[in-house]
Amino acid sequence: MILPYIIKSAMALALLYVCIIPLLEKETFHRLNRILILGCLIMSFAIPLVHFTGGTNPTVDMVRQAVQLPEVLINGDAKEQSVWSWADIMTCIYIIGVVAIFLMTVVLTVRLTRQLRQCEHITDNRGNTIVLTDCATSPFCLFHYIVMSRDDYANNRSFILTHEQEHIRLRHYIDLIILQCAIIVQWFNPFVWLIGKNLKAIHEFEVDEAVLNKGINATQYQQFLVIKAVGNRLQPFANNLNKES
């Protein structure tokens, strides 16, 4: 049954988050933090597939009891199961949530893609596509597309292109795809949303460090980030100039 596996996976992610996130707050190596965050997501789906055998290690026994508890709560007494058990009801609710988040992701992505097709396109010096919009919007990148307003392109092109090109160079969009897949599967788990917020903050720290290493004036760059601290927050695969953390 899929529901016990999903609950075990959610519990594993919660335990990993509680154990690892406090360590990341003291760590300034953003690449390492990024790897650890992605590792938490991937491990949370792998841990429930591991079956402990033999031994009487109390720690192992405690973990085993923790991950087996949801099965007892979900399945209940086999003798008292009806046509529609609690397991069936919870499974239906879970599937509805998965479908809803998946459809929302598809709709938002398709809608944004259609909007971007109607805008002017320019190729930058790295082969990325710059999309110029007529409306005032916070700059962001979507895969190999860099989206900004015409006003920003005229006045803040240097800062924006350098920032967004680093997002693309560091392949942050891959992280966001992994994150969105985890959110779709564990939509009910608050820890997957929290870990997503941490991951996006790490992306910004990593990019800011790369941008400043290119010799851009730190004071002017920070002022620019403050001005642009608004964004397209509903687009799941977009990295933008949003300094939430």
Beta bridge partners of 141: 146, 239
Residue 75 has pLDDT above 60, yes or no: no
b/e for 47-65, b at 16 or more Cβ within 10 A? bbeeeeeeeeeeeeeebee
Model's pTM, two decimal places? 0.77
Q: What is the spatial distance between Cα 48 and Cα 51, in angstroms, rounded to a whole number?
A: 8
Q: What tens digit of pLDDT does each residue of 121-167 get?
A: 999 888 899 999 888 778 888 889 999 889 888 888 888 898 999 99
Q: What is the DSSP letter of 92?
A: H
Start-to-end CA span in the chain (Å) = 37
Residue 203 has pLDDT above 80, yes or no: yes
55-64, 192-201, 232-241 — most confident range? 192-201
Higher pLDDT, 209 or 63: 209
Higher pLDDT, 93 or 59: 93
Binned at pLDDT 50, 70 and 90, residue 224 comes out as: confident
